[in-house]
Amino acid sequence: MQSTMIRTAKDSRGEASPSLRNSLWAGAGGGVGALLPLFVHSTYVLSVLMQIEILMCLALGLNFVVGWAGLLDLGFAAFFAIGSYTTGLLSVDWHWPILATIPPALAAALIGAVFVGVPTLRLRSDYLAVITLGFGEIIQNVVNNLNQTGGPEGIYGIPPLSVGGMSILTTGGYYYVFLVLVTLFAIISWQVRYSRLGRAWLAIREDEDTAEAMGISTRRYKLYAYMAGAVFGAITGSFYGPALTAIAPPSFGFSESLLVVMAVSIGGMGSIWGALLGAAAVVGFPELFRGFAQARLLVFGVALVLIMMARPQGVWPENGLGLARLAASARRRIAKALRSEPASPSAARQLEEAKGGT
């Protein structure tokens, strides 16, 4: 009753909840992103921006598992592959529309999440990382060796995405598709973050034994984290194939999973804004350093090391950038300096004359 009264009081003052406020910011960011192609006339730059959006979608999915539930997952690209290959096979061999392939892709990804989640519910830390890494390698080897998936050559000739009878054929068109996905995924993430499910994940991340003692079914909620991440990964994969018109096993290996983990870690574990910023850094930095030719990856690695040394908690940690704390600290220092500032000679002389007169 008391918590209900508090919430009602907050509503009466017109204060927006954090989830609503951040969702509005996400919508505003999506609006700004929609205007970006008007100022970019290079197909190459648009393709890089699209790759950033794809990694943003994957990072938001992995953030459920690693950032909130505290489960180390090194095989997240497996769900990305499941979505891509399910859409590719159904659209090429069975001539399904791209949008119609998304439900089967989600079903396949959820089965994969249950497959890897149930046996690993008792495991933690390094053991969990090994199991998820093995799951990712299994999926990549399966699609690499099956004739039905095209083997090492993969699947090519994937038809374009059609929406309302209009086919999307350009890089700019798919830029907007993934922009909608990023905005939608970010809004969903903020709604989940402040829900009962999100609070349960955070409790498990902080102390699993205490969460269990408080009545949280840790096994069930950890499985939910795998499933939520699998949904985001599979949906992203379903749109990835039509955007590139072809998919192949090397796109879904350990290196791709590592890029997603890097994006979440660099941005800030558990931070939605951090996941977005980290994805932009992981994809964008190597392109900015392309002028260094063969040494660009070395320069990129040095830049990442410097970032993590300067901001070990991430560029945009879960508790925010800390700008308010920095501003408050600066104000306190300025006020302290003003209070301790010695009086000017004229002021001191006037004070002495006043004392002599009395």
In this predicted structure, the answer to whether residue 342 has a pLDDT above a threshold of 70 is: no
Which is more confident, 308 or 213? 213
Question: What pLDDT sits at residue 345?
Answer: 54
Q: Are 233 and 109 in contact (CB under 8 A)?
A: yes
pLDDT class for 116, splitting at 50, 70, 90? confident
Give the mean pLDDT of the chain: 86
Which is more confident, 314 or 96? 96
Domain ranges of the chain: 17-321, 327-358
Enumerate the β-bridge partners of residue 167: 162
Give alpha helix (H) positions in the chain: 2-12, 18-35, 43-62, 77-93, 102-117, 125-145, 171-193, 196-206, 208-213, 218-244, 254-267, 272-288, 296-310, 323-339, 345-357
pLDDT class for 181, splitting at 50, 70, 90? very high
| Over residues 25-33, mean pLDDT | 89
Q: How far is CA 216 from CA 191, 222, 305, in A?
A: 20, 10, 37
Question: What pLDDT sits at residue 10?
Answer: 47
pLDDT class for 120, splitting at 50, 70, 90? confident
Question: What pLDDT sits at residue 118?
Answer: 86
For tokens 């010695």, the residue is: 342
Report which residue type is found at 207: D
Give the highest mean pLDDT range of 11-15, 192-196, 308-312: 192-196
Residue-wise DSSP of 312-331 = TT-SS-TT---HHHHHHHHH
Of the candidate ranges 6-20, 157-171, 221-235, the one whose mean pLDDT is the lowest:
6-20
Please report how many Cα atoms fall inside a 13 Å half-sphere around the Cα of residue 130, on the Cβ side: 5
In this predicted structure, the answer to whether residue 104 has a pLDDT above a threshold of 70 is: yes
pTM for this predicted structure:
0.86
Question: What pLDDT sits at residue 338?
Answer: 76
Question: What pLDDT sits at residue 301?
Answer: 81
Q: 17-321 has which CATH code? A: 1.10.3470
Question: What pLDDT sits at residue 114?
Answer: 93
pLDDT class for 168, splitting at 50, 70, 90? very high
Distant-in-sequence, close-in-space partners of 328: CB < 8 Å, separation ≥ 6: none
For tokens 């080897």, the residue is: 141
Nearest C-alpha neighbor of 54 from the set 233, 285, 318, 186 = 233
In this predicted structure, the answer to whether residue 170 has a pLDDT above a threshold of 50 is: yes
Nearest C-alpha neighbor of 72 from the set 25, 138, 127, 146 = 127
Of the candidate ranges 17-31, 49-63, 209-223, the one whose mean pLDDT is the lowest:
17-31
- In this structure, the chain runs to a length of 358
B/e letters for 205-240, b = 16+ CB within 10 Å, e = fewer, are beebeebeeeebebeebbbbbbbbbbbbbbbbbbbb
69-100: per-residue pLDDT in tens? 999 899 999 999 999 999 999 999 999 999 99
Q: Are 53 and 182 in contact (CB under 8 A)?
A: yes
Distant-in-sequence, close-in-space partners of 149: CB < 8 Å, separation ≥ 6: 85, 89, 142, 143, 155
**% of the chain beyond a pLDDT of 90:** 59
Helix 196-206 / helix 218-244 crossing angle, nearest 10 deg: 110
Question: What pLDDT sits at residue 352?
Answer: 58
Question: What pLDDT sits at residue 177?
Answer: 96
Q: Are 315 and 266 in contact (CB under 8 A)?
A: yes
Question: What pLDDT sits at residue 355?
Answer: 54
Distant-in-sequence, close-in-space partners of 86: CB < 8 Å, separation ≥ 6: 101, 104, 105, 108, 234, 237, 238
For tokens 């308010």, the residue is: 324
